[in-house]
Each structure stands twice: as structure tokens, then as C-alpha cells.
Structure 1
Amino acid sequence: MTPEALSWLQRILAERFGHGFHLQAAGADFVHLCLAGSGQRSIEIAADPGTFRRADSELAFTSWDALAEGWQPALGSPLPAPGLARAPSPLIEATTTGYRIHYDVLGLSYWMLSRQEEVGRSDLDSYGRFPASASHAGKHGYLERPVVDEWLHILGQVISRLWPELQLRQQRASMKVSHDVDVPSRYGFASAARIIRRMAGDILIRRDVKSVLQAPVIRLKTRTALHPTDRVNTFDWIMDVSERHGLVSAFYFICGCTDPSKDADYEPEHPAICGLMQRIHARGHEIGLHPSFNTYRAPEKLQAEAKRLRRICEQENIEQEAWGGRMHYLRWEHPTTMLGWEQAGMTYDSTLTYADHAGFRCGTCFEYPAFDPVAGTALNLRIRPLIAMEGSVIGYMGLGTGEAAWKKFRELKDTCKAVNGCFTMLWHNSSLGSAEERDLYQAVLEH
């Protein structure tokens, strides 16, 4: 593993465990995890660069029974072990100077967190996205497990056995909610053609005659503010619910148009949108960027849209310490899109989940520093993995808005709790128009 990659992984270990741990390559076969001032004691971790530098999804796979060797798995079941055809026995053994781990935990962490797997892929869906079905995790059934967090949980136990005097950093389970503002008003900003299509959808699909009858009024009165009876104007309701649960909602706004058929029909400078941003900020919630449809391959356009958002916020006297967001339609080309966020000077991105299946695309539910696997360099940008989008669970996975969907959200949230991580959820403001959607959303937050 390169010095740059080791330095990046060392930073991740410091965020997770604290203390002055140091990673040092020991030939081609092992990396030593050392602690300053601890003498010769160290943890030797097998190195398998031939496996974890691959940009494909054809790695071997098996599982490892941690309990059988006296270690406590975070989820109480055997750990997925990508890259191994058969788990060594023992996988972790004591040595005269510490412990030896016969599995490349660091390599796995690099492969999952850097998204090395996705570099140069051509097996994409109709929106140019790398799908869960093509991923190693999707093929081998561990997409709903934070495999990196599970292995670092084991590594933490090895550290504690070797250095029992250490108090490792204690993480606390948390939750973050965010909302992509694709449609802030059902009829307030749409073109005539879109209004007709939406009215037809409201009548034929949603049987929502009331919204159709209100459409002309909403259209005429959305000049300086969003209309209070607009079915997708759920912003105050969202903030009310978040505040009851001690959460800060992040609202990501589209600030450009690179595909008129896919992008928003509002301009962020519109008085109604500026007023919405002011209200969000005044209530202590967050404003962020939702780059337009084709910016995922155009870093310069992403930068321009980020600049536009900041300019609007400056004009509205909206100040924030951090700026983040998520790609429209979850479109992502690796590492091109990530570099666009980096070059735009954004603090974090929260795109990385799969549209077709909720779960742990990056193998973790912890935010972490980004790494460019092509250039081999760490970035200033932070990756905030997205665990579940409502559209994935309700739509792509076909679970609807009832008990089955709630159970899936609960399982994912409980999994994050088991590793003391962060359950990060996306729920569009426009997907809270029905009582069933609102009930499901509140149930997920309350659990």
C-alpha cells in the first residue's frame, strides 16, 4: 500500500479510535499497527494489495466466525470477508510481540471507502449510475451490513487486548436527515406542459382532485412565498418533526439546469425560494447544494452551481460553517464527481448509496475523509455515506409505505446503532404529501 494510502487510513483510525496509532509497512506481506511509546508491541495486519487494488467486483468471498475464535462481532453473526476464498484458522493469533491478523482489514477498508471498485466501470444503469446489483456487496448479500465498521470493531478489540490501559474513543449512535428539493411547489413554478402532466398524474394516479382544483390558485399566488396548501410544501412540517426529535434537517437546492426534462423548474433566486431559505436558516436548519442532472461528469458546472448557491446565501445574510449536498438522481462517476465537489470547496457530499437498494455502499455509516484512488491522494472533502433514500425502499425495493418499509428502515437504523454509527436518510419534501408517507417518516424517526 502506498504511503499516501497508509497515511489516509491512519487518519481514519485516529478518527475512529483516537490515540497516536501509526501504520508502517513491513515488506510486501504485512502492515504494522504501532502505538507511540509502547515498545515493540504491535499488531501485524496481512497486506493483500493484489486483491484490494482491483477495480472490479469479482473478488472471492467467504465469511469468518468471530465468536468461534473468542471475538465479539458487532452484529452477532459471522463477518463478510470480501477477498478471501477461505478464512484462515485462526484468523487472529497472538504473537510474542502482539497479534497477527491474517486478513487485510486495512486493504478492505481502502477498497470500500475509496470506492476503488467503481473506477472505470461500464456496467451502469440507464442514468449512468453504478447499480447495487453489479457491486460485490450486492452479489454476495452483504450490502445491508457496514462491513468496514464490523471489521474495525474487531480491530478495536485486538487493540484493547494488546493495550488494555488505553481508553479508545467512544462513538455514539446518531441520525441525520436530509431533503433534496427537486419540487418545492407542485404547480408554482412549472411550465404549462409540466402542469398538465402533473394534473393528469394527480387525477389518474393519486386520485387527488383537491390538488388539481387548487392548481390555478397555487400557480397565481406563488409569487413571493410558497402557498400553504401546496401538497409538496412540507418544509415547515419537516422542520417541526426534526425539532421534536432534536435533529437538524438539511435541505439541498438545485442551482442550475443541465437537462430541462430532469432538473428543477424553479430558480433559486426566486423570492419564494429565497424566503424558504431564510426560514430554514432562521430555524437553525441547513441549506446545501443539489447539483443539476449532468454535473456529475462536469466539475466546472458543479463548481458554478456551488458558487451560485453561496452568492444567494450571502445576499440573504445566510452564513454556515459547513456546506454540503447530494447529486441529483444520485448520479456519480468515480472519481470525477467527487473531484467536482472538492474543487468547489464543499465540506461534504452525501450521495453515496445505491438508488436500487438501500444499504452501505461504502461499507460504513461513519463520515470519513475522501480519497482519490486514481491519483492516490487524500482530499479535503468528506464523504457522508447515505444509508437509505425513501425512493429506494418504497419504490425500487417495492416495499411501499406500510409495515414492510418500516421494518426495512428499522433494520438499517438498528444496524447503524449496533456499530455506534450514523443512520443517514434522504426523504424528499415532495414525498410527504400523503398521510401514509408522513406516518412512515415519523415512525422511522421515532424508532
Structure 2
Amino acid sequence: MNARKTWPSRAVLDWLEHLLAERYGHAFSLQDSGGASVRLSLPGSPAAIEIDTDATTFARADSNLPHASWAASREGWHSVLGKPLPAPGGSRLRWPLIETTPGGYRIHYDLLGLAYWMLTRQEEVDRSDLDVHQRFPGTASHAFRHGYLERPVVDEWLHVLGQVIQRLWPHLPLRQHRFAIRVSHDVDRPSRYGFCSTRAILRVMAGDLLKRRYLRSAWLAPWVRLNSRLMLHPADLDNTFDWLMDTSERHGLTSAFYFICGRTDARRDADYEPEHPAIRELLRRIHARGHEIGLHPSYATYQRPQAIAAEAARLRRVCAEEGIVQDAWGGRMHYLRWENPTTLRAWEQAGMSYDSTLGYADRPGFRCGTCFEYPAFDPVAGRPLKLRIRPLIAMEETILEPLYMGLGRGEEALRKFAELRERCQAVSGCFTLLWHNSMFDTQAERTLYQQILQGAAPCVPPARAATVRLSRA
């Protein structure tokens, strides 16, 4: 067990004040009440909510915390999913968990400590139980072990806190968020044949003929290869970019395309260069249609801040040469390789606006306990970062492919995507979906993708959300 005495430091409380302001639309004050609780108050009001703190448990960097659950309805509160709430770190919860006091309310569960522990990924600091790609696997997490990985547990508890706030200050309008979908596409392979070496194209053609039975595609491969010098060929199976943008535009969404700009592992990185004329033309087309361009750092960069910075600079340079200007630059790590806090710091040092890596490769769900974008915090240095986290809820390969869940392309897969989407919708959050441009070889995959996006709405920055009252229990 690795314990770090960062909770509840003043830096963490300041960061949480920022997070609560984004969530509720008001500037609440958080004060440490001598180590036993944190006092949440509203400027100008004598009332307050005391929230018990558990500095030992939520400073731990392991997955062996105790676990309990709380039936909100038995105390007259509302569970947004209609189920008892998971209470990581709890063992024997007090009854009642939420009680009135002369000055307001007291909550006998450290829900702010939980938010800190989940959002900062304190659990993952200095872990050695990693998979073959040196990733912390979802199956090793406390959330998976205790059955709440597919629940936005932080959002569920903040919904309860919102109810307590409204009971204490009934005339205070709290921000209402709207459910939305964010789609992104890691561009590992923009062309099936266009950038292959002679040896590689023969291997891909053989696979398409003998294994996948893509006869027409294999037959056209040499023609596609020869005619991809200035732009991607329309007959290329992996050239789905216009279809993806068409689909997003029909649903009022903006697609984000994350490009690899380095080669640190010849077997696992891309075979294209961002300076290639066909990639330059693709970047211009994406930008002209109002979609987003971002970075997909190469395989071995997750522990190398200078490499991430160099690849980010390369992408920005190519885009600048093509007249592409964006207000924000973000992206996602290749293979979802991510080390806490090394990779976080690297994204900040590279001047990136956000990182959307934080989902597990082996299991879908809420790695950070939330489906809301939020400001990053370094749990080792104990400081906020100039970076935002866009949690990844589901990657298509995680759900579809035999290597992971293996649910195929039919109804079983659709049900899993729908469950995750519905849980984001229940908390009015954002369902962030990763679907590679090269994963649309069949009509079944296109149909499944379109079904997932039905009724979509775009995610908006927190500052633009409207303010209305939360529904009370």
C-alpha cells in the first residue's frame, strides 16, 4: 500500500471548489474543519454542510480499499440510477448517513475524498500490476472488483450532494447539464494500402483475400496504392472520413480525429507521416468541415514528455502550414498507454488543452467515476494542472473484439453501448465514444455506430451550461 498525505490539502480543496463551481454553477467554499470534516458553505449564508473526511483511505494508491453501499431512498434521498450507491472506502456506514444539524447538514461519508481519489486516479500511482502494454487494467481496479466500473459513481454522489445543497438553500438555482455525446476517432491507419511498403501491402492483400474475404478491396489494392499520392482514394476501405463527418453532421456532432505524428515502435505505430500530401489534404478537409484535429502520441511516448511535446509541435506545425487554426488542442494516447502522473504532466508541458485517454482498454465504463469533463490534478505533486480530462467511456474494440469482451457487432454489443449511454444520460453527462476510422469494414459496424448515435447532442463546455434547480428528493 502506498499512502500519500494529499487529502484534504488546501490545494485539493481549491481544486474541488473549481470542480463544484463547474458542476453546480456557484462558488462554494470548502474549509478543513480540523481533519475530521470539510465544511461546505455559501458566501453570505451562516448555514453549512459538514462532510466527514477519511484522509488515510483516500490517500491510498492501491485497490484494496473497503467497500460498502448506501440505500439513499431509505433516508428520503434520491439515487439517480434508482439503485443503492456504491461507497468505496466505506466499511460500516453510519445511520443516518445524512443528518440535520443546528447549522445545516452533516454527511457521514467522505464523498469529496472519493471524488479526489477517483478523478485524480490516485489508485493508479506507482502500480506494478500492469498488462503486456504496461497499462493498468480495468480488471485490477477497485471499481471492477466491486462491481461499479460501469457506474458514474462520482456523479451519483455529487447528485446526492446537490440535493442536500437544495434542501439547505432551497432558493438557490443550480446548474442543469444536458446529456450529450462526444465522438472521436484515433487515426491509427488512415489508408489500408496507401502508405504500405511493398511487403506490407502483399501481406494485407493476402489477409483480405484469404481471411477476411474482401475480394474487391484486395483486387483494387495496387490501384489504390498508386493513386493515394495527393489524397486518400475513395475505394480504400479505411477511408471512412467523409462518412464519419457526414454521420456526425446529421446528428449535430463534431468528430475529433487524432493523428499519430511519430514512430517510436515500428510494429505498433502508424505507417503514415503527417507531412504526406494525402494527409495534408485530409487535415484541410476535416478543418474545412468544422471538425476537430488532435494528437495521438506514438506508442513509446507515454513516459517521455519531450517526445509528446515534439509530436504535438509537429502536428501544430503541419496544421499551421495548411492554414489550420484551432482554439484548443487535445487528443488521446496510442493504445491508451498512460502512467500517473507522468503522462498527465507531459500533456500539460506540451501545451495541450485536454487529454481523452482515461478509459480502460479491457473494460468499458467510468475509469474516473465520471462522464463529465473536469480540470486535471497531479496527486503526487499535489497541484492542479493546466489541462482538462475528457473521460473515455467506451472504445469500440473493448466491446466488440474477442481480445476483450467479444460481444460482436449485433444486439449484444448494442445493449452494452446503450447501457453505458443511458447511465451517462441519467446523470446528464457526456457519453464519450472512441471508434477508429478503420473499424468500418462491414455494414454491420456502420449500422451499429449509427444506432449508438441516435438522438445525440453535442457536448458543450461547462461554462456554457444553463442554470436551473435540481429536482429534489
Task: Please state whether the residue corresponding to 1:352 is helix, strand or coil.
Answer: coil
The equivalent of 2:18 in structure 1 is 11
The equivalent of 1:167 in structure 2 is 173
Aligned positions of 1:318-333 closer than 5 A: 318-333=324-339
Q: 1:173–1:422: 8 Å Cα contact kept in structure 2?
A: yes
Distance 1:384 1:304 in 2: 22
Per-residue displacement from partner, 1:297-350 (whole Å, max 9, x unpaired)?
A: 101000000000000010000000010000000000111011110000000000
Distance 1:298 1:70 in 2: 50
Task: Please state whether the residue corresponding to 1:381 is helix, strand or coil.
Answer: strand
The equivalent of 1:230 in structure 2 is 236
Q: Which amino acid aligns with 2:99?
A: E
Per-residue displacement from partner, 1:42-94 (whole Å, max 9, x unpaired)?
A: 00000001000000000001110001110001100000000011221111001
Q: 1:234–1:433: 8 Å Cα contact kept in structure 2?
A: no
The equivalent of 2:3 in structure 1 is none
Task: Please state whether the residue corresponding to 1:342 is helix, strand or coil.
Answer: helix
Task: Please state whether the residue corresponding to 2:100 is helix, strand or coil.
Answer: strand
Distance 1:120 1:203 in 2: 46
Distance 1:50 1:196 in 2: 58
The equivalent of 1:2 in structure 2 is 9
Distance 2:9 2:91 in 1: 25
The equivalent of 1:221 in structure 2 is 227
Match of 2:261 among 251, 255, 258: 255
Match of 1:21 among 24, 28, 36: 28
Give the CA deviation at 1:355.
Answer: 0.2
Q: 2:190–2:238: 8 Å Cα contact kept in structure 1?
A: yes
Match of 1:420 among 422, 428, 439: 428
The equivalent of 1:111 in structure 2 is 117
Give the CA deviation at 1:434.
Answer: 1.0
Give the CA deviation at 1:194.
Answer: 2.2
Aligned positions of 1:33-432 closer than 5 A: 33-39=40-46, 41-395=47-401, 396-432=404-440
Distance 1:146 1:376 in 2: 24
Give the CA deviation at 1:211.
Answer: 1.1
Distance 1:20 1:266 in 2: 47
Distance 2:17 2:73 in 1: 27
Give the CA deviation at 1:193.
Answer: 3.0
Give the CA deviation at 1:196.
Answer: 2.5
Distance 1:86 1:218 in 2: 64
Give the CA deviation at 1:210.
Answer: 1.1
Give the CA deviation at 1:369.
Answer: 0.4
Q: Which amino acid aligns with 1:70?
A: G
With the length of structure 2 as denominator, give the TM-score of the two structures.
0.94
Distance 1:204 1:407 in 2: 32
Sequence identity percentage: 65
Q: How many residues align?
A: 446
Give the CA deviation at 1:191.
Answer: 1.9
Give the CA deviation at 1:217.
Answer: 0.4
Per-residue displacement from partner, 1:117-167 (whole Å, max 9, x unpaired)?
A: 000000000001000010000111100000000000000000000000100
Per-residue displacement from partner, 1:242-290 (whole Å, max 9, x unpaired)?
A: 0000000000000000001100000000000000000000000000000
Task: Please state whether the residue corresponding to 1:287 is helix, strand or coil.
Answer: strand
Distance 1:267 1:307 in 2: 14
RMSD, aligned α-carbons: 0.7
Task: Please state whether the residue corresponding to 2:32 is helix, strand or coil.
Answer: strand
Give the CA deviation at 1:20.
Answer: 2.2
Task: Please state whether the residue corresponding to 2:40 is helix, strand or coil.
Answer: strand
Give the CA deviation at 1:204.
Answer: 2.8
Give the CA deviation at 1:169.
Answer: 0.8
Distance 1:105 1:58 in 2: 18
Q: Which amino acid aligns with 2:42?
A: L
With the length of structure 1 as denominator, give the TM-score of the two structures.
0.99
Distance 1:194 1:61 in 2: 50
Q: Which amino acid aligns with 2:336?
A: L
Q: Unpaired segments of 5 or more residues in structure 1?
A: none
Q: Which amino acid aligns with 1:23?
A: L
Give the CA deviation at 1:418.
Answer: 0.3
Q: 1:358–1:392: 8 Å Cα contact kept in structure 2?
A: yes
Distance 1:167 1:442 in 2: 36
Q: Which amino acid aligns with 1:417?
A: Q
Give the CA deviation at 1:18.
Answer: 1.4
Q: Which amino acid aligns with 2:453?
A: L
Q: Which amino acid aligns with 1:423?
A: F
Distance 1:272 1:105 in 2: 50
Q: Which amino acid aligns with 1:421?
A: G
